[in-house]
Amino acid sequence: MAPAALAGTGVPSDSEVLSKVLEVERLVVLGYRRVLASGAVGADDEAVLEPFLAHELEHVSTVAARLEALGASADTGPLDVATGDSLLAKHHVPGSLTDLHSSTDCLRLLVNLESVAEGAYFTGLKTLGTSELVTLSAQVMACEAQHWTVLSGLRNPGIYVKSVPWPFVTGSS
Amino acid sequence: MVSEDPEVDSASRRGLLAAAGAGLAGALVAGCGGSSLKAQVHNARPVLHSDVDLLNHLLDLEHWAIAAYTAATPLLPPATVKAGKLFLSDELSHAGDLAGLVRAAGGKPIKPRPSYPLGHPHGSAEVLGVLHTVERALITAYLDAIPRLRPGTVKQQVASIFANDAQHLAVVRAALHEPAVPSAFVTGRD
């Protein structure tokens, strides 16, 4: 959908939607990297988190490629911690990327970041203009929901009502 | 807004809904305050009548999932029985929500069939295998449907169901000792 076609309608263009999603994905990548560098999670949990970081990096590169195909710029470089913390505040995520002293701190941060990622894709689905982008967004949103479930399961082993607490996934804003 | 302790809050929301008797189609509340997603759908453009067949196809598959979880849950390993009950409840919510969309589009929701092909699984691994098959089929069907549905709010509503079924699939895969999240993109092929 061309941005010009949406001028004055209040409806975000596909580029605007994907730019917001890309910013969130880069924040999620930073979150996983900070957690893995913190030394606060055990080796078993690290083995779960490392593939999830790889997934998030795939999301970044895929969304960036779609943005560039739309003629928009797409920064895929790593965010610095100060920018990351300001984005946490923007998305109302409590805590800090420098305040990761325990497994609880780490997993809570990642669960919250996965919620933000779910919400970014969920919001985008309302207005995205092409079938390809809609399908991609749904696929990634579902992947983030699966991450959410596994991360929550690490915090609450065997307590499925906490890992899959809701019959509908909408994420957070 | 993101919760300080999201799972606790979410679990509480599920409990509150049950306590309030808010079931099935009415159960959807946006995660960040504001009006329910269902209300947003009804306050927005109507569900298109041309989508009735597509929505009824999804509803038919949800009826299949309900039958599968109903039959399978008593046969699951003890550690996963609670998950089976929970996921059955989710599928009932999905069916109610889809039936509401069909009605909103001016259609008649498809009814459950008298029986469904669930095979004759022996042992907990085969029972989990049936659930794996069903969840994958749901995911494939949702992915086919979501880009075809109109308007965007209906895409969102159906995608919110799709993502929950993907969560089920992750738990079923883990119970089968397979990677819970094998890919960066949920396709239904894993």
Query: Domain coordinates of chain B in residue numbers?
Result: 38-175
Of B95, B94, B97, nearest to B47 (Cα)? B97
pTM of the complete model beyond 0.95 = no
Q: Is the pLDDT of residue A12 over 60?
A: yes
B146 close to B155: Cβ distance less than 8 angstroms:
yes
Classify residue B78 by its DSSP letter: G
Of A94, A101, A77, nearest to A27 (Cα)? A77
- Token pair for B2: 């993101």
B146 close to A134: Cβ distance less than 8 angstroms:
yes
For A93, the domain range is: 12-163
A111, A139, A158: residue with CB nearest B187:
A139
- What is the H or E stretch that residue A19 is in? helix A14-38
Question: Which of residues 43 through 102 in chain A touch B, CB cutoff 8 A?
Answer: 51-52, 54-56, 58-59, 62, 91-94
Q: CATH for B38-175?
A: 1.20.1260.10
A148 close to B186: Cβ distance less than 8 angstroms:
no
Q: Is the pLDDT of residue B189 over 70?
A: yes
B62 close to B91: Cβ distance less than 8 angstroms:
yes
Chain A contacts of B1, Cβ < 8 Å?
92, 172-173
Of B27, B153, B188, B114, nearest to A143 (Cα)? B188
- Token pair for A32: 């996983």
CA distances from B91 to A26, A55, B95 (A): 33, 27, 6
Question: Which of residues 110 through 129 in chain A touch B, CB cutoff 8 A?
Answer: 111-112, 115-116, 118-119, 122, 125-128
Does residue A143 fall inside a structural domain?
yes
Contacts of A89 (CB under 8 A, 6+ apart): none
In the numeric block, the tokens 């607490």 are attached to A165
What are residue B33's DSSP bridge partners? B31
B143, B171, B185: residue with CB nearest A160:
B171
Smallest CA–CA distance, residue B13 to chain A, in Å, is: 8
Handedness of CA A63, A64, A65, A68 (dihedral sign): positive
Tens of pLDDT, residue by residue over A16-69, are: 999 999 999 999 999 999 999 999 999 999 999 999 999 999 999 999 999 999
Confidence of residue A126 (pLDDT cuts 50, 70, 90): very high
Neighbours of A139 (CB within 10 A): 25
Q: Is the pLDDT of residue A13 over 50?
A: yes
Q: Is the pLDDT of residue B61 over 60?
A: yes
The amino acid occupying position A42 is G
Of B37, B42, B132, nearest to A119 (Cα)? B37
Classify residue B116 by its DSSP letter: -
Is the model more confident about A142 or about B9? A142
Percent of chain B with pLDDT over 90: 74
Domain count, chain A: 1
Question: Which of residues 149 through 168 in chain A touch B, CB cutoff 8 A?
Answer: 149-150, 152-153, 155-156, 158, 160-168
B87 close to B80: Cβ distance less than 8 angstroms:
no
Chain A contacts of B174, Cβ < 8 Å?
150, 153
Confidence of residue B132 (pLDDT cuts 50, 70, 90): very high
CATH code of the domain in which A115 resides = 1.20.1260.10
Size of interface A-B (CB pairs under 8 A): 185
What are residue B31's DSSP bridge partners? B33
Chain A contacts of B37, Cβ < 8 Å?
168, 170
Kindly determine whether residue B181 and residue A148, on different chains, have CB atoms separated by under 8 Å.
no
Instruction: Provide mean pLDDT across the span A73-96.
Output: 97
| A148 near B CB under 8 A | yes
In the numeric block, the tokens 């979880």 are attached to B69
Three-state DSSP at A57 gives helix
Residue of A nearest to B166 (CA): A142
